[in-house]
Chain A
Amino acid sequence: MDLEKQRGRHAALAIAAVVVIVGIPLWWRTTETYRAWLPMSQIRELDSLRLCLTVEVEVVFAQGTLTSDQQKKLPLNQVREQEHNVDTETDLKYRYETKYRTATIMEEDALNQPSAAEADTSLHILSESACGSVVVYVLPESSTLLPEGVRVYVGLKRTALVKFELRAGEGLNEVLSAIDAEVEPVVQTMSFGHQDIIAALSNRIRLAKVSKESLVDSMRAFKSSPGYEITFSLLNPSPQSHKVQWDIEGAVQQYIQPLLDKMAAVSNFSVDSQILYYAVLGVNPRFDKTALAYTLSADSLAHVINPVEARLGSNAASSNPVLNFLLYVPDPQHSPLFIRDHRGQGVSSNAFHSPRWGGIMVYNVNDMYDKDTSFPVDLNIDMSKVMGVFLAQLRLLLGVQQVHPPKGFELQGPGSAGVADWELDRLLWSRSVENVATASATITSLSQLLDEIGNIVINDNIAQEVLSTVTSIQAAIAELEAGNLAFALQYSREAILASECAFFDPSLLHLLYFPDDQKFAIYIPLFLPMCVPILLSLLKIVSEVRQKRAEKRAKKE
């Protein structure tokens, strides 16, 4: 009898063991979702961003700025570092690697040109400086190169001319520290200021730390993207009275293309144009009797383009962001049409732009014909006037930031190229930092998401993208530290592409919403009746064992 009981107990234990050793792993294995390995620890490291930006600065002393004694001690190298602890997660370090040397004879010749602009071009011919670096020529106070009242001239390339007064009896070290104080604002103007970098990091740090101006700059500009579509649209609401023609092809070649060629390092661009007829604004302009003109107030501008936007059409052939530039020719019943800003004053360009969308310009044509002309009239659009406005808007929207130089600075205008080399450098600095910040934020939020929702399948290709994002981010950070701006941008672009690719992969959605209640509805008819007898017999065995022990103890006592 006891033997029989023993056998039953063994059988129950064996079944429980089979269920635990074979059944549960089998069930676990067959219902598991595939999750490829992700470099979680490296991603967690990215969570706290420690960036070090290195700028190579070359300070060249022209004749008459140093005594011959001091000249002998040159060349010299010096590294200056600035650390900013932005918040607990973000640290910034700026390294200025300054090299001091005297000017060569050729450079002296170049500096003897009659004007600063000419000196700038001939200096550029002599030596081409690397992307991201800054060359500062120190001129004696007596130099006539710079006009009166101008202490610093920033040229089209990566060179700046600085006037410096030599005080007698100072040692080289004092001179150098005095020079450094002069050079610092120049370098900040030509590469980056702290506020620009903070604004580029606006994804991850609290907004209070960002100055309003740089925030406005960074909010207006399009987010960094591998490509942009630029679309010029001529809106002609009344083709029955105006036959408007524009030479957009020539104008793009002449005005826009030089800028885009320069910006080719940042992104790819494609330019399109179209003419839309019967495109009317969403707001009826009001007639202003004092000005004898129709006016649109700035408050209503937000509603102006909505009906037009439906007809602009997105680019069917790509998914890059579109920059829209609209040229609106008002119909004769509503001409002339002027835009008033919020103070009620006219805007001389008659143009407005909208952050991250594009710009619109109102082009009045009522002066081009007499009152008693019979419609339709043929009209030609003066493209230089239009393109001046659009070019300025394009620069803003692409993120070529506006520089607020200190007093005594003269900045050479961008000229026909549309953008100066150092302006491009500024853009590259903030774009690289922004890309790194965005990519790391994307990848950390992706890993959080995957952590929290265990049902998401992680395929190998996603793991691959995540891995390449992480390596690209690390490479970009390393290149920033080494001062190779061009490579840093390249890696940061790769990082952002890979991170977006991983984040928006459709396969992440497959098992996202497989609800638990359905799972249990299917499991319960099998699991409940199977588990209850096993558990009950285990409980029984345990209680029997206890009882036996108690009996034994009682016997002993």
Chain B
Amino acid sequence: MAARFSVTFLLACVALCNLQVYHVSGDLDQAKREPESFTEPNEVPVDEKLEKPSNEPPIVTDSKPIEEAQDDRQWQATEEEAMAKPEPGDDTAPPPPFKDEFKEELVIRPLQSGDVYASFQFSTLWDTDFVQGKRVSHYHLFPKSLGQVISKFSIRELHISFTQGFWRTMQWGQPFLPSPPGAELWVWFQDTVTDVDGAWKELTNVLSGIFCASLNFIDSTNTVQPTASFKPLGLGNVTDSRFLRYAMLPREIVCTENLTPWKKLLPCGSKAGLAVLLKSEKLFHSSFHSEAVHIRPVCQDAECKEPSWELRQTLNVVFDVYTSGQGKKEWSLFKMFSRTLTEACPLSSSSKVYVDVTDNPEGELFDLLPVSPLLDQAVVLGDRRTYVVYDLTNRDTFGSTRSLNLLVRWKADGGEMMRPLLHSERYVAGFGLQTGEIHTLIYNYHPYRAYPVLLMETVPWYLRLYIHTLTVTSKSKENKPSYIHYQPSKDRLRPHLLEMLVQLPPNSVTEVTVQFERALLKWTEYTPDPNHGFYVGSSVISALVPSMVAMDTNNTQERPLFSSFFPCKEESSYFARVYTEPLLVNLPTPDFSMPYNVICLTCTVVAVGYGSFYNLLTRTFQVEEPSPGLAKRLANVIRRWRGVPEL
């Protein structure tokens, strides 16, 4: 899209220089006419009066040179008297009620490291079906732009995330919704789609327009079809990975231009409700920032006959209040977001703020103000947590000041964070620019339970994996994966995809290593800053981690949004996904001014060789009399002067 526009624009610029352009002069208001009186009431409408052209800059909708530039937007009154009145309809019947619902939620978890983790969740549920039946074209709370994308590309599920910074699992625990650094996009298409690759290509371009991101860099060289790691999270149990596309852009920089379109998708925008806190100058002044959009079909009710579509927008942010607050761990909503809450979004059916107080049952660690009588317990990520709840739809929450500013005063240091059961690291080893080795370490901190994990690695084609060097070791013994899916790369076409199911012994480290060779790129394939290195996306570890407490498997029950994203099938374990660090690998990089130097040098060499060859061929050689010596010449000069014959 952007490419096409720039093409258009450039062509137009060029053409404008060469072509004669007819311009509409601004004296249109002379075209005012006296309104004519029509003889019949049923006349064809409208009698227009032109406005004076305003000084507004032109809104050029079409930059083709041959069209007149519409240099002013004129507003014209639409007169009603002469309007063709359609027969009035049945006005007694009220329009059907909207079948959609909006919920918003903010979870704040004070972390032991002094950071504060805030997670926003906005969910729009719409009882409609984009798939069957006629076109969906009338939107209420669900954003029109995304709805059109779903229907046009026949999407079953769409998950997109933009993340700045790296989630530090060992310091911060598990996030509610994990995401890798950079951009991640995975989409399940309906099984009616015939040209999945074409749809995927077009979809990434459309999404990059919607979210103002460089998703258009997704092409076949970074797209994979994982067979096991990414299952649909919503309704429908498809396993045919032909309809799944997964891509990651670890280099993507996330900033305000991505946040603004994300906020625009909310029904209340950033005008009311929890979204007033989303001010970019504070959100991006943080250690970790991640925004995501998830679209999936879910059950409408417990019977689950009809689907409804869920749009889940999440935003996770970790504030480093310790360093930004001059060494104090105190935090408040105002300090973190430079805003306080004054109202719920009037369109939301539920609007709540949760503060995690599990570590502070008696108030010995910190004081939370204002005090709320509401407490809630939720089982999330295999742990039972206690939350203080502030219901924004209740006016009493805001108190006499009519604004809610949560405040935490720490009384004591301490408290132990529960160590996450699953953790992983990744790095590149080796030296030189020819070969290297990727090490992936997966930690199982569970004291006595072994459990299997799915590891997925996508490596770009320019790192040529030697798959025979793949080793998996746990506790210095070989650990044979029970399932391996490996798809070798094709140069400039597709990346490596390695998926395997590994059993992690209790309290152990499992190391996966594989060697690779660095390929030489063509000189146009290098990025603008090739010496920075090339990114390799995070590997993904998906696991059913044994739970400390019984998980809640009743998915239809009303639960807080943050604990209901991943469907839970059994009581004894919960689903967790961990992303490793992305890798930065140096490739052999040439000197890019070299082509010109080489051309000049070879040309000169050729020219010199040619010159001597030419001379040899064309010159005639003859013996020349040796010229007389200096003394003789001098003598001759003197003799000439004297008039004596020369020597």
A residues neighboring B (CB under 8 Å)? 1, 4-5, 7-9, 11-12, 15, 202-204, 206-207, 212-213, 215-216, 219-220, 223, 231, 239-240, 245-251, 254-255, 270-275, 277-278, 298-299, 301-303, 311, 313, 315-317, 319, 321, 339, 341-342, 347-349, 351-357, 359, 361, 376, 380, 382-384, 387-389, 391-393, 395-396, 402-404, 410-416, 418, 423, 438, 441-442, 445, 448-449, 452-453, 503-504, 506, 508-509, 512, 521-522, 525-526, 528-530, 533-534, 537
Contact = CB atoms under 8 A, between A and B. Distances in A.
A328 B91 CA distance: 20
8 contacts: A216-B28, A301-B75, A302-B51, A342-B49, A353-B75, A393-B78, A403-B44, A504-B4
B605 to A, nearest CB: 10
Given A254-B89, A316-B149, A392-B46, A203 B66 contact: yes
A165 to B, nearest CB: 21
Given A1-B622, A278-B269, A207 B24 contact: yes
Contact of B269 (A273, A277, A423, A506): A277
Contacts of A418: 84
Nearest to A389: B78
Contact of A316 (B31, B61, B145): B145
B400 interface: no
A390 B644 CA distance: 119
B419 interface: no
A303 B385 CA distance: 51
A273 B153 CA distance: 19
Contacts of A202: 22, 68
B83 A392 contact: yes
B14 interface: yes
A452 B89 CA distance: 60
A277 to B, nearest CB: 6
B88 interface: yes
B14 A503 contact: no
Given A203-B66, A316-B209, A509 B80 contact: no
B45 A402 contact: yes
- Which of B88, B343, B615 is most buried by chain A, counting CB atoms within 10 A of its CB? B88
Could you say which of B44, B144, B151, B611 has the most chain A C-beta atoms within 10 Å of its C-beta? B44
Contact of A355 (B76, B206, B608): B76
A349 B89 CA distance: 19
B11 A250 contact: no
A135 B31 CA distance: 34
Contact of A351 (B33, B78, B81, B91): B78
A533 B140 CA distance: 80
A525 B596 CA distance: 11
B18 to A, nearest CB: 6
Contacts of B49: 341-342
B83 A389 contact: yes
A207 B22 contact: yes
Interface string B31-53: 10100100110111110111110
B327 interface: no
B7 interface: yes
Contacts of B429: none
B140 A247 contact: no
A503 B138 CA distance: 35
A452 B18 contact: yes
A359 B76 CA distance: 9
B78 A512 contact: no
A7 B617 CA distance: 9
A478 to B, nearest CB: 23
Question: Top 8 nearest A-B pairs by Cβ distance?
Answer: A413-B42, A349-B80, A529-B607, A247-B95, A525-B603, A212-B31, A317-B152, A526-B603
Interface in B563-618: 596, 599-600, 603-604, 606-608, 610-611, 614-615, 617-618
B206 A317 contact: yes
Contacts of B358: none
A216 B28 CA distance: 8
Interface string B250-275: 00000000000000100111011000
B10 A445 contact: no
A246 B93 CA distance: 11
Interface string B364-406: 0000000000000000000000000000000000000000000
Interface of B: 1, 3-4, 7-8, 10-11, 14-15, 18-19, 22, 24-25, 28, 30-31, 33, 36, 39-40, 42-46, 48-52, 54, 56, 59, 61-62, 64-68, 70, 72-81, 83-89, 91, 93-98, 135, 137-141, 143-145, 148-149, 151-153, 206, 209-210, 264, 267-269, 271-272, 343, 346-347, 596, 599-600, 603-604, 606-608, 610-611, 614-615, 617-622
Contact of A506 (B4, B48, B87, B138): B4
B86 A272 contact: no
Given A212-B28, A219-B24, A448-B18, A239 B78 contact: no
B78 A299 contact: no
A242 to B, nearest CB: 10
A384 B618 contact: no
A449 B14 contact: yes
Contacts of A245: 94-95, 97-98
A239 B68 CA distance: 41
Contact of B94 (A315, A380, A415, A537): A380
A134 B4 CA distance: 44
A402 B610 CA distance: 78
Contacts of B88: 384
B76 A356 contact: no
Contact of A395 (B36, B45, B51): B45
A29 to B, nearest CB: 19
Nearest to B62: A223
A525 B19 CA distance: 38
Given A240-B272, A251-B89, A530-B610, A354 B78 contact: no
Given A349-B79, A392-B83, A445 B66 contact: yes
A354 B79 contact: no
Contact of A274 (B52, B78, B144): B144
A449 B272 CA distance: 53
Contacts of B83: 349, 388-389, 392
A355 B620 contact: no
Contacts of B14: 449, 453, 512
Given A302-B73, A303-B56, A508-B11, A239 B347 contact: yes
A438 B66 contact: yes
Contacts of B59: 357
A75 B31 CA distance: 45
A351 B143 CA distance: 26
Contacts of B148: 272, 315-317
Contacts of B1: 319
A278 B266 CA distance: 11
Contact of A416 (B87, B599, B614, B622): B87
Contact of A503 (B11, B31, B56): B11
Contacts of B46: 392, 396, 402
Contacts of B152: 316-317
B614 A533 contact: yes
A413 B59 CA distance: 35
Contacts of A352: 75-78
Given A416-B86, A530-B610, 14 more contacts: A15-B617, A203-B22, A207-B25, A212-B30, A271-B137, A273-B139, A303-B54, A347-B77, A353-B78, A354-B75, A411-B44, A529-B604, A533-B615, A534-B614
A249 B99 CA distance: 14
Contacts of B7: 504, 506, 508-509
B64 to A, nearest CB: 7
Contacts of A533: 611, 614-615, 618
Contacts of B622: 1, 4
A445 B15 contact: yes
Nearest to A279: B269
A347 B140 CA distance: 30
Nearest to B93: A247
